[in-house]
Amino acid sequence: MPSLAVVGSQWGDEGKGKIVDYLAQEAHVVVRFQGGNNAGHSVMIGEELFKLHHLPSGILRKGKLAVIGNGVVIDPAVLIKEIDALESRGVSVANLRISDRAHVILPYHRLLDGAEERLRKGAKVGTTGRGIGPAYADKATRLGVRMGDLVDVDLLKAKLDFAVPLKQKYLEMCGDDSRLDGRAIMAEYSAHGRRLKPYVTDTGAVVRDALKRKRNILFEGAQGTMLDIDHGTYPYVTSSTTVASNAASGSGVPPSAVGEVFGVVKAYTTRVGEGPFPTELLDETGASIADKGGEFGTTTGRARRCGWLDLMVTKYAHALSGFTGIAMTKIDVLGGFDEVKVCTHYRLDKKKISGIPADLRVLARCEPVYKTLGGWEDLEGATLEKVLKKGFSALPGNMRAYVRFVEKEMGVPVTMLGLGRRRNELLDLRKRKWK
């Protein structure tokens, strides 16, 4: 495997964790390059479910270096809890490295996330409430505290002495009457710093050094293209760059180091939080996909909105990230329908349009135009076993037709196919001839 980035091509929750967990077998280093604990990756190993928010999914594979890159924002208390939880289940985190340049999520970021959402009234973003936006905002306005500051008491104190009074004023302006206790924050966060210090380092140098030694790097994206701060459905987006180019910048390596890019495409579409969603199904079919797909957030437990696969979205994601392969996930969830639909384009005022409009009022008026394809039976028990053993050719004909249709429309091969929740319920199709 050359170095490879795995990114979400929809609104997040495409099932990237499972794909990364599988590919991590061939990697030496797994790097998270953006986002924070707004992300939630579920990986099922045997009957055990692991939920990760901060740690790269690669942490579950022995002997891999797991890196939290400079582009990530970190809530230290959450990270420490996650480390403790894994260790108590016998998973070692000795191979964890945390960037000294990654920014820290502080208590006032969480408070402000809530306060700003309340101010928005009818126009809420529907954030995860983890303080992600305010932490990235402070990074951009140069008020941020970095992991490297957290482990240096004097530096941390100087930064907090400056930031806390400002944040107190801003909280008041936002109508939040919480009192920030600078000393208590200092005590709590310097303790976090002491605890995390062994892991904090210049991870950019670590990854670049690994590249020099021809190690395989797996860049693990969080969220998805439509949540990208620049290219997504702004302002209903997250606060980081989720497309493949950030795999380089968020890890501290040159773009040329990112060899391949796998776009994770869930076989249908979901979104949590607010904002337009052209193929959303507000009927029985949508409810049945949600139910069967277990579409409830790993991080917030919120129900996800569900709809048919939208190729306008995934083609846009491909245009931005340049997929060399598609990892299609959760196709099993579409089993049992008489027919399934795929949106091939939008119509606006009776005209076919190309591309995703920046103006959300326009996007909200776009009508999806569907291609209807034949359904297939649920893959269960012995049939699933057979498919996992024999591969693509053993799949139901209509399921293969669905995969081929997506490949043809996108011009990219499906290189992985997710058939269930368990770790082994996945077909590796990288060697398959697809054209």
Considering only 60, 206, 267, 272, the residue that binds ligand IMP (CB under 6 A) is 272
Q: Report the residue number, 298 or 344, with the smaller CB distance to Mg ion.
A: 298
Catalytic residue check, 41: yes
Out of 6, 13, 69, 416, name the contact with ligand IMP by CB under 6 A: 13
- Minimum CB separation of residue 350 from ligand IMP in Å reads 31
Q: How far is the CB of 130 from Mg ion (least distance, A)?
A: 12
Shortest distance in whole angstroms from residue 31 CB to ligand IMP: 17
Does position 356 interact with ligand IMP (CB under 6 A)? The reply is no
* Residue 222 near ligand IMP by CB under 6 A: yes
* Residue 83 near residue 55 (C-beta atoms within 8 A): yes
Residue nearest ligand IMP, CB atom distance: 273
Strand order in the sheet with 217-220: 200-201, 96-99, 65-68, 29-32, 217-220, 4-8, 260-266, 325-329, 414-418, 426-428
Under the binding rule (CB under 6 A), the answer on residue 135 touching ligand IMP is: no
- Distance separating alpha carbons of residues 144 and 138, to the nearest angstrom: 5
For residue 85, CA distances in Å to 18, 37, 89, 195, 230 come to 19, 15, 7, 15, 35
Q: What DSSP state is assigned to residue 395?
A: S
Query: Which one of 15, 17, 40, 335 is in contact with ligand IMP (CB under 6 A)?
Result: 40
Q: Which two tokens stand for residue 260?
A: 């391949």
Q: Between residues 39 and 43, which has the closer beta carbon with respect to ligand IMP?
A: 39
Find the catalytic residue in 21, 28, 41, 228.
41
132 binds ligand IMP (CB under 6 A): yes
Q: Residue 96: phi, psi to the nearest 5?
A: -85, 140
The distance of closest approach from Cβ of residue 54 to Mg ion in the complex, given in angstroms and rounded to an integer, is: 13
Identify the residue among 99, 238, 324, 329 touching ligand IMP (CB under 6 A).
238
Nearest in space to 364 (alpha carbons), one of 275, 288, 284? 275
Phi and psi at 266, nearest 5°, equal -70, 145
What does 133 interact with, of ligand IMP, Mg ion, none (CB < 5 to 8 A by kind)?
A: ligand IMP
SS3 for 201-219, per residue? ECHHHHHHHHHHCCCCEEE
Could you say which of 3, 9, 34, 38 contacts ligand IMP (CB under 6 A)?
A: 38
**Interacting residues with Mg ion (CB under 5 A):** 13, 40, 298
Name the β-bridge partners of 104.
74
Least spacing, CB of residue 113 vs ligand IMP, in Å: 7
Q: Which helix (H) or strand (E) holds 247?
A: helix 245-249
Question: Per rule CB under 6 A, is residue 12 in the interface with ligand IMP?
Answer: yes
Please return the burial class of 184, using the count of CB atoms within 10 Å of its CB with bins 0-12, 13-18 and 19+: exposed
Residue 179 Cβ, how far from ligand IMP at the closest point, in Å?
24
Find the shortest distance in angstroms from Cβ 330 to Mg ion. Answer: 12
Is 410 one of the binding residues for ligand IMP (CB under 6 A)? Answer: no
Six token digits for residue 330: 């959760």
**Kind and range of the H or E element at 108?**
helix 107-120
Of residues 34 and 324, the one with the C-beta less far from ligand IMP: 34
Does 125 contact ligand IMP by CB under 6 A?
yes
Place of tokens 């091969």: 413
Query: Which of 223, 225, 269, 321 forms a contact with ligand IMP (CB under 6 A)?
Result: 223
**Is residue 34 within the footprint of ligand IMP (CB under 6 A)?**
no
Nearer to Mg ion, 288 or 298 (CB): 298
Name the residue nearer to ligand IMP (CB basis): 305 or 341.
Answer: 305
Q: Cα–Cα distances in Å, from 48 out to 2, 22, 86, 422?
A: 30, 16, 12, 9
Helix (H) or strand (E) holding 135: helix 132-140
What is the nearest approach in angstroms of Mg ion to the Cβ of residue 106? 23
Q: How many residues bind ligand IMP (CB under 6 A)?
A: 21
Strands 305-307 and 269-271: antiparallel
Q: Check 13, 100, 113, 138 and give the catalytic one.
A: 13
Give the footprint of ligand IMP on this chain (CB under 6 A): 11-13, 38-40, 125-128, 130, 132-133, 222-223, 227, 236, 238-239, 272-273
**Residue numbers annotated as active site:** 13, 41
